[in-house]
Copies of this chain bind each other. A is one copy, B any other.
């Protein structure tokens, strides 16, 4: 609206943010640098077309549409002044600009689907429960006072007092003092008459010294660092209860939607790794502040934080370059679990506090999968169990108490709404469940938060495919049914057929929400990746153990796995044909794994043994991969005998 010294002001609606545009900055960079998280798959390269915005006033001050925009926007959109944030910028030199336009009017509207807000984040998960045996324990002691006859240093008098307590009598090792603790000792001792509380980490490491009795104030926080979402669980280490939970979108999303685009960002930007690292640490520190505010405690009362996350999130979080995870042979820098001083990674808990990071299994099977195994206890099951953690990459585990194997399938991000024309993440206004009436092809649906629909998220897409199959809108090979394409629900868009789910007057975006032929293909690739991945791991176990092993139960982990209609997931052939009662939706199992490791240190030993024991299968290089994958592209599979319980297919197949 008005200029302020050397920057130009732009008003962004509907968020009512007034930003100062700087020279050589496009609108995408301006938004990201201002902390506004916007949708982008390509991280601002102008190839994904997701960062669409509407210039309401002041289009004349902007550069003309670029080739990228001409390709990714329709002619109509360009005429309406839609632009891609990463392609548009103010043309003139800013000083000239201010001189020439004393009161320029620039106003930009950010469509709701651009804004990364209001997301549905799964924080709960099935918890089988663990005994309380945390790594952090507090002990309250009275210390002798020094005298001229016995001028014993503070530290030695503390060690001597500690040796009389039961907690330290069990110790084999001499207590060691964290440097941060040493600094606190002289004042803490004299503040409350030589009565102090010590915080012990790993039995003998003393990481805090406080005046008086502070035993009640002992907390830990468990983190799940997802590619898309971050969740923190604040837990009191005296009773093992969760006192508060906070979640946020992973702000790294502004630099790329999935792990591959974030690796690309790091490769292409000199300070890229540090930038992504700082970004996620800031967000984690905000989660700490938020959980502490809710529980009315200070972050200095948190002594340990535990972490799960996929290997790329893990490396970035630790400021370790992840680029070699993205290059064959996809090795991580390390997989072992780590204990690191929280201050060394700029995590703002107690200055002497520690971070525990669960071990990775392989480059593409991360600490999140370790967490899933720990919390679901697949490794203690009698029956052979398939667990899948559904995300951009699908992690697959097959095993029981005797055998265990895992692998990763490149599911793509279709199930997160990416690469789907009307796709979106599970945010407010996303169609999450859907039914089609076979008699008239009318579509019934629900949306998240009951808002007017904006798009369709993963669970809705699975429902759409299953319902389109049942109502014969598509065939088992995934093609539109030629006999129905004259139905009013089909429209032709750029010569391609699309099936309308919601007509534009019913949406809040004034555009039809549709499923295109390409969308069906994306879904087929995703579900085939899961199914064939599970098959290849099972084949591996059949070869290395007894043949003809059969999967007896399925665990669906992850946010997405929690919200899908399991019957429909099976109907489209994403998961094997098991009776619904043996398919369990176990929620954020990775996060529960992090919690359990906070509560009981023995699980960390178990994790170390697990990653040595588990077999890693490189799915994409398996001999039979191409064949398995191609067969799984069909709904539910090329060979119907794999899905004997799905009797509806007899009817569908008649066509």
Contacts and interface: CB of A to CB of B under 8 A. Distances in A.
A242 interface: no
Contact of A321 (B155, B186, B321): B186
Contacts of A288: none
Interface string A133-151: 0000000000000111011
A618 B148 contact: yes
Interface stretch (A328-336, A388-396, A497-505, A633-641): A328-336
A565 interface: no
Contact of A334 (B148, B153, B344): B153
B618 A151 contact: yes
Interface string A186-201: 1100100000000000
Contacts of A360: 153
Contact of A185 (B179, B187, B333, B335): B333
Contact of A147 (B147, B329, B336): B329
A340 B179 contact: yes
A282 interface: no
Interface string A313-328: 0000011110110001
> What are the 5 A-B residue pairs with the smallest beta carbon separation, nearest first?
A155-B334, A148-B329, A146-B331, A151-B329, A154-B333
A148 B319 contact: no
Interface in A294-347: 318-321, 323-324, 328-336, 338, 340-341, 344-345
B332 A148 contact: no
A234 B621 CA distance: 54
Contact of A190 (B186, B324, B362): B324
A338 B182 CA distance: 11
Given A156-B335, A324-B190, A330 B151 contact: yes
Contacts of A215: none
A373 to B, nearest CB: 18
A333 B334 CA distance: 39
Contact of A331 (B154, B324, B618): B154
Contacts of A340: 179
A152 interface: yes
A177 B321 CA distance: 16
Contacts of A338: 179, 182
A183 interface: yes
B323 A186 contact: yes
A151 B319 contact: no
A153 B324 CA distance: 10
A240 interface: no
A429 interface: no
A182 B317 CA distance: 13
A32 to B, nearest CB: 25
A179 B344 contact: yes
A524 to B, nearest CB: 27
B321 A187 contact: yes
A155 B328 contact: no
5 contacts: A148-B621, A154-B334, A182-B338, A183-B320, A187-B321
B363 A151 contact: yes
A296 to B, nearest CB: 28
A156 B155 CA distance: 38
Contacts of A362: 151
A187 B319 CA distance: 12
Contacts of A324: 154, 186, 190
A335 B153 contact: yes
A319 to B, nearest CB: 6
Contacts of A177: 334
A183 B319 contact: yes
A476 to B, nearest CB: 34
Interface in A579-630: 616, 618, 621
Nearest to A343: B344
B146 A332 contact: no
Interface in A164-223: 177, 179, 182-183, 185-187, 190
A151 B183 CA distance: 44
Contact of A186 (B154, B333, B345): B333
A15 B507 CA distance: 77
Given A179-B338, A179-B344, A344-B179, A152 B331 contact: yes
Given A186-B324, A320-B182, A321-B186, A333 B621 contact: no
Contacts of A345: 179
Instruction: Tell me which of A182, A190, A319 has the highest count of chain B C-beta atoms within 10 A of its own C-beta.
Output: A182
A2 B328 CA distance: 67
A388 B338 CA distance: 48
Contact of A318 (B148, B182, B318): B182
A174 B228 CA distance: 37
A334 B156 contact: yes
Interface in A338-366: 338, 340-341, 344-345, 360, 362-363
A392 to B, nearest CB: 20
A330 B149 CA distance: 11
Nearest to A345: B179
Interface string A232-259: 0000000000000000000000000000
A616 B190 CA distance: 24
A298 to B, nearest CB: 21
Nearest to A360: B153
Instruction: Tell me which of A155, A333, A345, A621 has the highest count of chain B C-beta atoms within 10 A of its own C-beta.
Output: A333
Contacts of A332: 153-154
B331 A153 contact: yes
Contacts of A146: 329, 331
A187 B273 CA distance: 13
Contacts of A148: 328-330, 618, 621
A116 to B, nearest CB: 29
A508 B151 CA distance: 49
A156 B335 CA distance: 8
A305 to B, nearest CB: 15
B156 A318 contact: no
A333 B184 CA distance: 9
